[in-house]
Amino acid sequence: MVSAEKPKVFCVGRNKTGTTSLKKALGDLGYRIGNQRQAEVLIEDWGKRDFRRLVQYCREADAFQDIPFSLPFTFQAMDMAFPNSKFILTIRDSAEQWYKSLVRFHSRRLELRTGEKRVPTLADIQSDPYIYPGYLWRVRELVGVASDSREAYPEKSLKDHYNWHNSIVVHYFRHRPKDLLVLNLARPDSMKKLCGFLGFDYDGRPMPRLNKS
């Protein structure tokens, strides 16, 4: 089990970089995982860069992932609020791979909801009922990814934002290598790296594989 002295762990990789698998791995290591939905509904606070309610929320658990932790500015605020925390940046092999995974995942969500096998349109995204109708599009508006575009998945803007987010996380921690782990969960040694980073003995278990597109 994770002791009270263990630092908090923030998973700051973008969605569709294996964050659900990482959540399972951290839970298996004994971390209390924050309720994802409670954090996601604070997206309007994130848009204003008001992290007060998010900081309070983080006092109730040990590890956190996905929105708004997967977005820029959150990791800086959490670093200030919770000194000595650990940060994990999950990545894919390339921005192209990440983009395709994102589109596949949303397409699968649409198929499960409507039975239609196709890439979601802009109207689909704006009416998607996740959390509340339009939430996914509101996130995109707040993030500023092609907010004036009428494309459902503007490839260049999304890839550019993915690359930019990864670069600013790495740049922020460039003089603190013990505080940031850049992790590609597709690599066979990913679980071993995770355990070493967090101070656990590695017992040979593989990294969980969940929520694959």
Q: Identify whether 154 is preceded by a cis peptide bond (ω within 30 of 0).
A: no
What backbone torsions phi and psi does residue 64 show, to the nearest 5 degrees?
A: -145, 150
Distances (CA, A) of 154 to 107, 119, 142: 15, 13, 16
Segment 144-157 shows an average pLDDT of: 81
CA 168 to chain centre: 15
The confidence score (pLDDT) of residue 81 equals 97
Please check whether residue 14 is in contact with residue 70, taking contact to mean a CB–CB distance below 8 angstroms.
yes
What backbone torsions phi and psi does residue 181 show, to the nearest 5 degrees?
A: -115, 120
Half-sphere exposure of 188 (CA within 13 A, CB side): 1
- What 110-116 contacts at long range (C-beta under 8 Å, 24+ apart), as own/partner pairs, is none
Question: What's the CA gap between 138 and 135, in Å, rounded?
Answer: 5
The pair of three-digit structure tokens given for residue 166, joined into one six-digit string: 């990864």
Question: What's the CA gap between 34 and 41, in Å, rounded?
Answer: 13
Q: Is the pLDDT of residue 23 over 90?
A: yes
> Which residues are CB-neighbours of 193 under 8 A, at least 6 positions away?
181, 183, 187
Please check whether residue 7 is in contact with residue 31, taking contact to mean a CB–CB distance below 8 angstroms.
no
Structure-derived torsion over alpha carbons of residues 47, 48, 50, 54, reported in degrees to the nearest 10 = -20
The confidence score (pLDDT) of residue 209 equals 87
Question: What's the CA gap between 209 and 25, in Å, rounded?
Answer: 9
Residues 93-131 have pLDDT tens digits of 999 999 999 999 999 988 988 999 999 999 999 899 999
Q: What's this model's pTM, rounded to 2 decimal places?
A: 0.93
Question: What's the CA gap between 117 and 109, in Å, rounded?
Answer: 10
* 208, amino acid identity: P
* Percentage of the chain modeled with pLDDT above 70: 94
Residues 30-64 have pLDDT tens digits of 999 999 999 999 999 999 999 999 999 999 999 99
* 197, amino acid identity: F
